[in-house]
């Protein structure tokens, strides 16, 4: 019988008490070891959030990935060290430098490539480094402390310093390790920076991406965190020459792009860490959070990257190093279009874009909640799960296709199979001088659209740019029914057989009441041409029950509008009829 080691996060970290540094360092070490153990087969599972228990039970069902595994509990860090002492000793350690927090991400890259386990460089009694060394005899084989100063020459490269210790650390790792990492995966996650200005402090392990790194280690991903702006100094490195972070980001992306020859789309797991850096949040920059999100998306898109967008609030995702071994079917069958009802020009047709499931972390967490919702299946909902997430959480996709109701329709979310800015695929490409990435983008999307029987992109996000004819022609090659987009106010168009329509508004997110969502929807309807009878409303992490209540609130507030919520196939078919009659508003 195979063995699966189970760690209950709350019990496991209890001996750390309120020492946030000890909690952070303990789990950082544990997750890195988990990534190595799970690289070739399932070995370790961490129960951190409620969804973990749900997915453990699901994957343990007959015939599934963990069927037949014996569960052995690891109750404490000390127990982990005893159990894996020989392995830890043989692997050795990489010590990162708290004074250069970027070295924590570098140490994670090193762990994936060389197998050295990351520890904060701290020899004091009771530290994780001391505990590991005393319990296992493991020694530090690579010490990053004091290695990067932002002066002179970057060690071991012959390359002049960038003027930034932070960027030098990434440039050193780039030269030494990039060619040994996964050519189609990178991680952009918060480094080891403290969440307090005056002391080491880590109150939120999930939103510090600690649990996510098992997947980075297992896949040998290159991990980094630099600002995408060149018009201000980054808050975490204000002494660097202006634009050094941005230049470093572009070099990292360019060199990864060159490894694929521009023929592939490359995934970045993570999100701009606005909770701690680079934005107006906390006064740490001059750019807002959404603005920074769009800027980062612009830059990566110019190098053929897409995001698996683990955004703040629900950044954390444990166990992906294990989940990746779940075997998917070759192809899935989606909910089929209903027999077409008769188009009624006197009705106002609504389509809910049910998002934002462009992040494995968000999708893994919320699918179990919505599955239990009493109103699941009551109304037609277009669930927009980005299909590329199936690389990281394949079991979730098997689950949703096993359990959809007659009113659940699965389609792709932000920009298709991965969140990017399609405008930046076409020359002239802002942020790069590269040739068109459109063919790589189309090929990438066709793979996932064919596998999961998808026909719609729910929301193409171009940031500050607009959708144009070239984009529409290429997107229509894999999305043959409909596309929603964020070029607000543009007319509805039909390209080939595909309807392209701007969203009307974002109306709901956690904390929004149904009445408030309805008010926002009605206010935006009133801003549209009075003849517009089709509206796509984006909701974010909103339950089936809340969608039902929003629809009821809309009908109560404006019965004369004759609102009709329809499935996505009917919505776009009726929209096509309206366009043929000249109603493109």
pLDDT at 475: 99
Question: Looking at the structure, do residues 551 and 417 belong to the same domain, yes or no?
Answer: yes
Of 556, 494, 565, residue with least CA distance to 348: 565
At 420-429, the pLDDT tens digits run: 999 999 999 9
Res. 201: pLDDT tops 90: yes
> 348-357 and 534-540: which strand pairing?
parallel
Question: Looking at the structure, do residues 359 and 311 belong to the same domain, yes or no?
Answer: no
Res. 8: pLDDT tops 80: yes
At 285-296, the pLDDT tens digits run: 999 999 999 999
pLDDT at 339: 74
At 254-272, the pLDDT tens digits run: 999 999 999 999 999 999 9
pLDDT at 338: 78
Contact 81, 421 (CB under 8 A): no
Domain presence at residue 337: no
pLDDT at 585: 79
Structure tokens at 575: 């929209």
At 337-377, the pLDDT tens digits run: 877 789 999 999 999 999 999 999 999 999 999 999 999 99
Structure tokens at 515: 């009445």
Contact 550, 508 (CB under 8 A): yes
Res. 162: pLDDT tops 90: yes
Contact 102, 110 (CB under 8 A): no
Structure tokens at 275: 């909770």
Contact 175, 181 (CB under 8 A): no
Neighbours of 54 (CB within 10 A): 18
Question: Looking at the structure, do residues 114 and 174 belong to the same domain, yes or no?
Answer: yes
Question: Looking at the structure, do residues 227 and 365 belong to the same domain, yes or no?
Answer: no
CA-CA distance, 82 to 88, in Å (whole number)? 10
Domain presence at residue 357: yes
Structure tokens at 197: 């200005």
CA-CA distance, 195 to 204, in Å (whole number)? 9
**Cα angle, residue 283 at apex, residues 279 and 288 outer, rounded to 5°:** 30
**Of the residues 323, 340, 374, which one is the last residue of a structural domain?**
323
CA max distance for the chain:
78
At 50-75, the pLDDT tens digits run: 999 999 999 999 999 999 999 999 99
At 458-483, the pLDDT tens digits run: 999 999 999 999 999 999 999 999 99
Structure tokens at 217: 């280690």
Question: Looking at the structure, do residues 79 and 118 belong to the same domain, yes or no?
Answer: yes
Read off the CATH number of the domain in which 555 is found.
3.20.20.490
| Residue pointed to by tokens 């629900």 | 314
Question: What's the total number of domains in the chain?
Answer: 2
Domain assignment of residue 314, given as a range: 3-323
% of the chain at pLDDT higher than 70: 100
Local confidence band at 584 (pLDDT 50, 70, 90 cut-offs): confident
Domain presence at residue 333: no
At 495-526, the pLDDT tens digits run: 999 999 999 999 999 999 999 999 999 999 99
Residue 439, H or E segment: helix 438-452
Q: What is the reported pTM?
A: 0.97
Res. 583: pLDDT tops 90: no
pLDDT at 213: 99
Domain presence at residue 331: no
**Of the residues 261, 288, 323, which one is the last residue of a structural domain?**
323
Domain presence at residue 328: no
Question: Looking at the structure, do residues 318 and 353 belong to the same domain, yes or no?
Answer: no
CA-CA distance, 539 to 514, in Å (whole number)? 11
**Of the residues 323, 357, 373, which one is the last residue of a structural domain?**
323
Question: Looking at the structure, do residues 126 and 244 belong to the same domain, yes or no?
Answer: yes
Q: What are phi and psi of 275, to 5 degrees?
A: -65, -20
Question: Looking at the structure, do residues 355 and 247 belong to the same domain, yes or no?
Answer: no
CA-CA distance, 102 to 110, in Å (whole number)? 13
């Amino acid at each position: 019988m195979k063995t699966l080691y189970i760690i209950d996060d709350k019990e496991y970290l209890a001996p750390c008490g309120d020492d946030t540094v000890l909690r952070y360092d303990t789990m950082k070490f544990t997750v890195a070891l988990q990534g190595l153990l799970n690289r070739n087969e399932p070995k370790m599972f961490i129960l951190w959030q409620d969804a973990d228990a749900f997915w453990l039970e699901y994957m343990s069902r007959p015939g599934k990935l963990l069927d037949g595994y014996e569960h052995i509990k690891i109750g404490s860090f000390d127990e982990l060290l005893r159990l894996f002492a020989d392995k830890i000793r043989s692997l050795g350690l990489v010590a990162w430098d708290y004074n250069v927090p970027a070295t924590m991400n570098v140490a994670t890259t090193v762990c994936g490539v060389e197998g050295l386990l990351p520890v904060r460089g701290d020899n004091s009694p009771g530290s994780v480094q001391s505990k590991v060394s005393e319990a296992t005899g493991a020694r530090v084989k690579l010490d990053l402390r004091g290695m990067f100063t932002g002066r002179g020459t970057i060690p071991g490269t012959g390359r002049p310093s960038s003027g930034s210790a932070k960027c030098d650390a990434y440039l050193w790792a780039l030269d030494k390790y990039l060619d040994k990492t996964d050519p189609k995966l990178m991680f952009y996650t918060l480094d080891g920076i403290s969440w307090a200005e005056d002391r080491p402090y880590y109150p939120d392990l999930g939103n510090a991406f600690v649990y996510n790194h098992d997947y980075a280690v297992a896949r040998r991903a290159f991990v980094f965190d630099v600002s995408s702006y060149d018009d201000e100094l980054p808050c975490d490195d204000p002494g660097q020459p202006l634009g050094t972070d941005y230049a470093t980001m572009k070099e990292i992306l360019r060199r990864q792009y060159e490894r694929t020859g521009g023929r592939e789309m490359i995934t970045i797991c993570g999100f701009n860490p606005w909770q701690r850096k680079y934005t107006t949040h906390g006064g740490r920059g001059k750019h807002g959070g959404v603005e920074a999100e769009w800027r980062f998306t612009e830059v990566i898109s110019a190098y053929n990257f897409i995001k698996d967008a683990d955004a703040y609030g629900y950044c954390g995702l444990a166990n992906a190093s294990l989940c990746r071994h779940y075997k998917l079917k070759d192809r899935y069958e989606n909910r089929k279009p209903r027999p077409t009802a008769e188009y009624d020009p006197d009705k106002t047709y609504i389509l809910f874009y049910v998002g934002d499931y462009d992040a494995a972390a968000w999708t893994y967490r919320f699918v179990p909640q919505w599955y239990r919702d009493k109103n699941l299946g009551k109304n037609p909902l277009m669930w927009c799960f980005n299909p590329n997430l199936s690389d990281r959480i394949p079991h979730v996709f098997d689950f949703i296709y096993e359990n959809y109701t007659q009113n659940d329709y699965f389609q792709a979310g932000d920009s298709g199979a991965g969140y990017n800015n399609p405008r930046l695929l076409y020359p002239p490409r802002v942020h790069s001088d590269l040739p068109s990435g459109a063919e790589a983008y189309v090929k990438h999307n066709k793979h996932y659209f064919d596998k999961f029987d998808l026909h719609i992109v729910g929301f193409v996000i171009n940031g500050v740019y607009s959708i144009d004819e070239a984009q529409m022609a290429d997107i229509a090659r894999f999305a043959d029914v409909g596309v929603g987009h964020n070029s607000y106010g543009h007319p509805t168009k039909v390209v080939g057989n595909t309807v392209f329509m701007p969203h009307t508004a974002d109306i709901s997110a956690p904390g929004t009441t149904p009445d408030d969502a309805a008010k926002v929807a009605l206010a935006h309807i009133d801003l549209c041409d009075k003849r517009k009878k089709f509206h796509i409303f984006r909701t974010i992490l909103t339950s089936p029950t809340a969608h039902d209540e929003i629809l009821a609130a809309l009908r109560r507030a404006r019965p004369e509008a004759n609102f009709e919520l329809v499935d996505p196939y009917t919505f776009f078919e009726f929209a096509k009829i309206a366009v043929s009659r000249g109603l493109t508003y």
